[in-house]
Structure 1
C-alpha cells in the first residue's frame, strides 16, 4: 500500500482549489483571505475534523459555500475501500463512483450542509458555480497537489497492482568486501541552503543535485526560455539559471546547460532555479524547481495567482508562464 495521491485534474475557474494528499477543499472567491491558512493545514496532512473546524470557525453565515473531501483519518491511503468523508454547502455539487454505485450530493439543497461518509470510492467529480470558462487554457489540466483556481476537480483513485512473488535467488558466494572509499568533500557540500538549517525538512534530493535521476531524453525541446536579458534557451535537458551556476554538483550523465544572469543587488543566488523536461505525468512539459535560493522565486502561470516556489518542489510550467528571480530578472516560458 502506498501513500500517493490519486490521479487528479481540474478545469480553471473562479473558486479556490486547495488540493492536498489527504484532503480537497474548494472555496468561493469571497474567501480569498482564508486560503493561505487552509492550504498550510491541508498541506501538513490535517484530518477531516481539523479541516472542517477551521472552515466553520467563523460561522456558517460567513461561509456561503464550500466543498471538503477527506479521509476518515489523516495518514491512511486513498485506495478503493478507504472511508471517505465529504461535506458540500452552497452552489456546489459532488458525484462519487463507489464499488456500490454512484452517489450524488447537491450543496444548495440544505440550509446548513450535506454530509456523507462513503466507502469504496474509486472516482469523484466536484463542480462549483462558474462565471464562464477560460478560453486561453486547456479544458482540463493535470495536477497532484497545490493551490489552483477551479470550476471542476476530478479524481481517480488507482490501487496498487499486486507484486508477483518471486522465488528467492540463490545466495552468492561469500567473499570479503573491499573497504568503502572515503567520501569526496563535494559529496557532503550544502547546495545553496538546501539543508535543514535553510528552512525545510530534508527528504529526497531535489532536481539538480547528486542522487537525482537524469532528465528524460527528449527528441525535441519541451519549451523555450526567454530571459529578460535577451537570451533565448531551449529546454531539451536540464537548464540551471543563477548568478554563478556550476555543473560540478551534477552527475556526469546529467550535465545541465548553465545560464549566467546579472544580479546587481545580489538578490539572485549563484544557483537559483532549474528548468528541465518533465517526466511521468509531466512528460512533454517543462518543470521548474527552486534550488534553495536565498530570496526565493515567484511563478506566475496564465489564469492562476502568483505563487512562491517551495525549495526542491518541482512545478509544471504552462506556456506563457513567467518566472521572477528578483533583481528585475524574469524568464518567460513559450512553446519551442
Structure 2
C-alpha cells in the first residue's frame, strides 16, 4: 500500500553550527545563526516549504536579505532535475566522483547551476565537525549542520504509510423487502419571496463576504494619525522589530542596533525612539530623539522643539560657536542644521567624502557621518545602542 509522498529527496547531515532548512523539494543552507534568529528560523522554514522553483527560493531569500550573506546555498528539485544556488565558501560536489560541480567562491551575487542527471551531491561547508557526532537522516525540518548529503535517487523518495487512505472493506448489500410505498402528498409550493428593497444589493458571494462577521479596528489603533510618510503628528513613528525587540523603520531587513534579521511583519505605531547617538571626540554622548543642540554653551531657544537635549563641547580658543549646530530626528531620518556658526561645519560621510555646510543650511545625513567643528573637536552621528 503506497502512502502520500513526503519528500523527493533525503538529506543526511552531520550536526554542526550551520543551519539547514529542508522541505520536500527545496533545501537552504545558511551561515551559523546567532540567538536573534530564534523567531526567524520558523518563518524562513515556512518560506522554504512554500517555494515553487529555484527562482522562487531566490526571491524569498532576497526578501529577508539572506542574499546578502557572505555564504549560503539553496537547492530545488523540479521537472528538470536538481538546481542549485551557491555563494561564498560553499562547495557542491558529485558524491560519486568527488568532482566539484558548483562553488560560490569569488561570486558577488550567486551562481545558479543545473545539476542535470546528478542525483547525489555533498554540500561541503567551512565548518568544523564536533567531536562525537555521527550522520543523521532528515527529510523535512530545520537542523544545525557541519556537512550535508542530498540523495534525490528514486530509492530515496519517501512516502508515509500513515498518510495513506484507509482501505474500506467491501460489504455485500442486504436486499430490501418488497414494500409498496404509500402515496405521498405533493408538497405545498413555497410562498413567493418578498421583493428585496432597492437599496440592498443582490446576495452575491462578494456581498456575503462583505456582510460576514468582521473585526472593525480604527486606523489610529494600528497606525496612528500620520502627519507625513514617516513621522506622526503626536511624536510617534511606524516601526518593525527584530527578534530582540529593537525598533526599526518599516521595510528594514536587518536591525540597525544588533544587525539581526527582521521578519516580514506589519508596522506598529510607537513613540519616536532614539534614531542616533552623538559621540563627541571629547567623550560626551547624547541620544537623538527629537533635537540636540551642539556648541560650547548651547542655548535652549535655538532649537525647533521646546525641550531639546544639549551637547556641550570644549573649545579653548572659542572657535566653536556657543550654539554651533542642531542635530534632529525627522521620523527615522537624521538632519543637521548649521546655526550660522562662526567657523562653519564640515560633514565627513561614511565613505570619506567631505562637504562644508553653508551658514544656516539643513541637510539629511547618514548614520556614521562625522561633524567636524573646530579646535580639533568632532561629533560622530553613531548608530543607536
Q: Same-fold call, TM > 0.5?
A: no
TM-score (norm 1): 0.40
Rg larger for: 2
TM-score of the two chains, using structure 2 as the length reference? 0.36
